[in-house]
């Protein structure tokens, strides 16, 4: 089952390149078909995961994959990864539908997009360290080509910057995972969670730091964040959607999966520095966001702030024994899911506006709501979710993070709440300058979203509102995932 989920997009990509003709319509609809099938599969996997039972389920395992190094082919999901499989299914579909206006080299484009989806699915499903690392690195190749070929602006610079930053992180991560392997002789992540990793070849604090740097670059956390605005700004819409929606989550997922669950003692000692980095990311990211005049750059910078909340939730493990609870960790996972659909939608809408108006420069826009009422509603819903309005997924995630982290770091959490106020400021100001104000002569001919363009916004809005109104759908699964390793934190 999981093998099918992971490799279906890859099979689709190969089919596009090898078998399909050059007809753009055919390629698009074939890709959309794969996207829909993958979306349905991801829902089935998510629904099949029994969160009451917990643990790893739906395993696909081939133990003797590389017997020499004891590397296994091992896919499985637990409560931590199941929602991310769903998220990748949702955003993969949204990405394909927001690529309808791609005009050049469409066969390669959709093939790379599908390869990207396989890589991300693989990261969330792999339970063998080497397999995990392979998928982690595999994701870079389609990203590099997608940005540097179909991007805009300084696309080569941004693609290279993205590549180098991630490589730097990967190097650290690789050192970390090899250290672990040479110390305990296994790559099996399901076993590593239960092991005592305090006595490694290197001090466990250092190994923790290697992994942390790798994931912090990906998340990204200040001061490793500068690749993000460039990559986003110059990437095509669908790539921004995937990048913000799921690729960043790989960083937070890694922190939870490896740093927190495998090195609980070190993680708890590092809680205060993590909280400080988190609050810097939140406030700094938000303040810098205010100054952006490019819509995409604005949304990208806001991601830095929002991902800071993920780290803040993780830092909740610094609470004293009596106050220690899984609320903050679950909230951090929720924030990743929420940010995936919310920022995904924001980028989709920015893409729609750019496709029609051919500019993302905010001072040139304005008054679009009159011409594009449906697009305006979608943009506003995404914005409101980004500022954490109740009834949207953003609120459910942020309130859990705040509630969970406040007992551990009272003052820092109180400072972090200012991030919510700042988010309201930059989001509403952006909405005002883009959608509201007098209708401009220049935009009098704009049309509202077409049926095809409406697919991705509707899908993502539904996800935002469903999770916002009844967050337990997702949070119960994450909770099961956190509960699997949480007892180790309790000591």
Partner 1 sequence: MWEAAAWAIFFLPLASFVLIGLLIRPFLNHRSELAGYLTIAAIGGAFALSLWALKATTGHSNEIGYASHEWLTVGNLDIRVGILMNSLTAIMLVVVTGVSLAVQVYSQAYMKGDAGYARYYAYMSLFTASMLGLVLASSILQMFVFWELVGLSSYLLIGFWYHRPSAARAAIKAFLVTRLGDLGFLIAILYLFFHQGVFSNAGLNSLDIRDIYVVAGAGLLGTTALTWLAIGFFAGAIGKSAQFPLHVWLPDAMEGPTPVSALIHAATMVAAGVFLVARMFPVFEASESAMNLVAITGGITAVFAATMAMTSNDIKRVVAYSTISQLGYMMLALGIGAYTAAVFHLFNHAFFKALLFLGAGSVNHVAGTFDMRFMGGLRKVQPWTYGMFVVAALSLAGIFPLAGFWSKDEILAEAFHNGDFVSRLVFLLAMAAVFMTAFYIFRALFMTFHGEFRGGVESKAEAAALPDSELVLTSDEEEKIAEGGHAHMAESPLVMVLPMGVLAVLSVVSGFVANAPFKLLTIPKHWISEFLVAPLGHPETPEFIGWVAILSIGLALAGVGLAWAIYAAGKIAPERLTYRPLYQLTMRKYYMDDLYERFIVGQVFYRYSAGLLDWFDRVFVDGVSDNIGWFGRNIGRGIATMQNGQVQAYGGVFTVGAVIILLVYLIK
- Contacts (CB under 8 A) with partner 1, residues 448-487: 470-472, 475, 479, 482
Instruction: Pick the stretch among 30-38, 90-98, 158-166, 270-278 that binds partner 1 (CB under 8 A).
Output: 158-166
CA 7 to chain centre: 20
Instruction: Decide: is 7 part of the binding site for partner 1 (CB under 8 A).
Output: no
**β-pair partners for 126:** 75
| Minimum separation from the CB atom of position 351 to partner 1 (A) | 23
**β-pair partners for 62:** 73
Candidate list 77, 116, 163, 193; residue touching partner 1; CB under 8 A: 163
Contact 460, 348 (CB under 8 A): yes
Instruction: Decide: is 179 part of the binding site for partner 1 (CB under 8 A).
Output: yes
Instruction: Pick the stretch among 24-32, 115-123, 134-142, 256-264 that binds partner 1 (CB under 8 A).
Output: 134-142
Q: Hey, which residues between 304 and 333 contact partner 1 (CB under 8 A)?
A: 322-323, 325-327, 330-331
Report the residue number, 1 or 377, with the smaller CB distance to partner 1. 377
Contact 408, 315 (CB under 8 A): yes
How far apart, in whole angstroms, are the C-alpha atoms of residue 314 and residue 308? 10
Count of residues interacting with partner 1 (CB under 8 A): 75
Instruction: Decide: is 124 part of the binding site for partner 1 (CB under 8 A).
Output: no
Structure-token pair, residue 113: 């997009």
How far apart, in whole angstroms, are the C-alpha atoms of residue 21 and residue 30? 11
H-state helical runs in 77-128 = 82-97, 106-125
3-state secondary structure of 61: strand
State the chain's maximal CA–CA distance in angstroms: 69
Q: Hey, which residues between 40 and 79 contact partner 1 (CB under 8 A)?
A: none
Report the residue number, 15 or 370, with the smaller CB distance to partner 1. 370
| Minimum separation from the CB atom of position 175 to partner 1 (A) | 5
Instruction: Decide: is 149 part of the binding site for partner 1 (CB under 8 A).
Output: no
Contact 72, 128 (CB under 8 A): yes
> Which residue bears the tokens 């990864």?
81
| Minimum separation from the CB atom of position 182 to partner 1 (A) | 7
Q: Hey, which residues between 375 and 434 contact partner 1 (CB under 8 A)?
A: 384, 389-391, 395-396, 399-400, 402-404, 406-407, 410, 413-414, 417-418, 420-421, 424-425, 428-429, 432
Instruction: Decide: is 233 part of the binding site for partner 1 (CB under 8 A).
Output: no
Q: Give every CB contact of residue 369 below 8 A, 6+ residues apart in sequence.
A: 376, 435, 436
Residue 58 backbone class (left: φ over 0; alpha: ψ -120 to 50; beta: rest): left
Instruction: Decide: is 223 part of the binding site for partner 1 (CB under 8 A).
Output: yes
Instruction: Decide: is 227 part of the binding site for partner 1 (CB under 8 A).
Output: yes
| Minimum separation from the CB atom of position 296 to partner 1 (A) | 16
Contact 394, 385 (CB under 8 A): yes
Contact 208, 267 (CB under 8 A): yes
| Minimum separation from the CB atom of position 155 to partner 1 (A) | 16
How far apart, in whole angstroms, are the C-alpha atoms of residue 29 and residue 97? 9
Instruction: Decide: is 291 part of the binding site for partner 1 (CB under 8 A).
Output: yes
Candidate list 30, 165, 263, 337; residue touching partner 1; CB under 8 A: 165
Report the residue number, 30 or 165, with the smaller CB distance to partner 1. 165
Instruction: Decide: is 11 part of the binding site for partner 1 (CB under 8 A).
Output: no
**What DSSP string runs through 333-402?**
HHHHHHHHHHHHHHHHHHHHHHHHHS--BGGG---HHHH-HHHHHHHHHHHHHHTT-TTSHHHHHHHHHH
Q: Hey, which residues between 342 and 381 contact partner 1 (CB under 8 A)?
A: 367, 369-370
Candidate list 47, 69, 182, 273; residue touching partner 1; CB under 8 A: 182
Q: Hey, which residues between 14 and 43 contact partner 1 (CB under 8 A)?
A: none
């Amino acid at each position: 089952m999981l093998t099918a989920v992971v490799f279906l997009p890859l099979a689709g990509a190969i089919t596009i390149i090898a078998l399909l003709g050059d007809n753009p319509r055919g390629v698009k609809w074939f890709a959309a078909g794969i996207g829909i099938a993958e979306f349905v599969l991801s829902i089935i996997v998510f629904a099949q995961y029994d969160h009451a039972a917990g643990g790893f389920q739906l395993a696909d395992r081939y133990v003797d994959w590389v017997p020499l190094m004891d590397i296994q082919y091992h896919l499985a999901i637990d409560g931590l990864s199941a929602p991310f499989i769903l998220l990748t299914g949702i955003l993969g579909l949204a990405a394909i539908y927001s690529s309808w206006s791609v005009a050049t080299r469409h066969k390669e484009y959709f093939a790379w997009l599908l390869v990207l989806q396989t890589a991300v699915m693989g990261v969330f499903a792999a339970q063998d360290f080497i397999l995990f690392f392979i998928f982690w690195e595999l994701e870079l190749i389609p990203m590099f080509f997608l940005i540097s070929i179909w991007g805009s602006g300084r696309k080569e610079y941004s693609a290279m910057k993205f590549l180098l930053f991630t490589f730097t992180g990967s190097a650290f991560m690789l050192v970390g995972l090899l250290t672990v392997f040479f110390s305990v002789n296994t790559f099996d992540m399901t076993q590593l969670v239960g092991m005592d990793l305090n006595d490694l070849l290197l001090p466990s604090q250092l190994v923790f730091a290697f992994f942390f740097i790798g994931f912090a670059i990906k998340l990204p956390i200040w001061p490793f964040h500068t690749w993000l605005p460039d990559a986003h700004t110059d990437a095509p819409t669908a790539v921004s959607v995937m990048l913000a929606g799921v690729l960043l989550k790989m960083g937070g997922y890694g922190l939870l999966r490896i740093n927190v669950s495998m090195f609980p003692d070190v993680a708890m000692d590092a809680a205060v520095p993590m909280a400080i980095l988190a609050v810097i990311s939140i406030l700094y990211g938000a303040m810098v966001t205010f100054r952006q005049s490019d819509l995409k750059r604005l949304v990208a910078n806001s991601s830095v702030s929002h991902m800071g909340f993920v780290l803040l939730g993780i830092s909740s493990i610094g609470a004293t024994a009596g106050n220690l609870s899984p609320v903050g960790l679950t909230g951090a996972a929720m924030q990743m899911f929420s940010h995936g659909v919310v920022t995904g939608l924001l980028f989709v809408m920015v893409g729609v506006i750019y496709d029609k108006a051919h500019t993302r420069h905010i001072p040139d826009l304005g008054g679009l709501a009159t011409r594009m009422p449906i697009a305006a509603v979608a943009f506003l819903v995404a914005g409101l979710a980004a500022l954490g309005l109740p009834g949207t997924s953003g609120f459910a995630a942020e309130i859990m993070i705040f509630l969970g982290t406040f007992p551990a770091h009272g003052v820092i959490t109180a400072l972090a709440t200012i991030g919510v106020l700042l988010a309201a400021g930059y989001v509403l100001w952006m909405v005002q300058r883009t959608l509201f104000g007098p209708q401009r002569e220049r935009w009098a001919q704009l049309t509202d979203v077409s049926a095809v363009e409406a697919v991705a916004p509707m899908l993502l809005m539904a996800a935002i509102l469903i999770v916002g109104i009844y967050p337990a759908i997702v949070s119960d699964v994450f909770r099961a995932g956190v509960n699997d390793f949480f007892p180790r934190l309790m000591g």
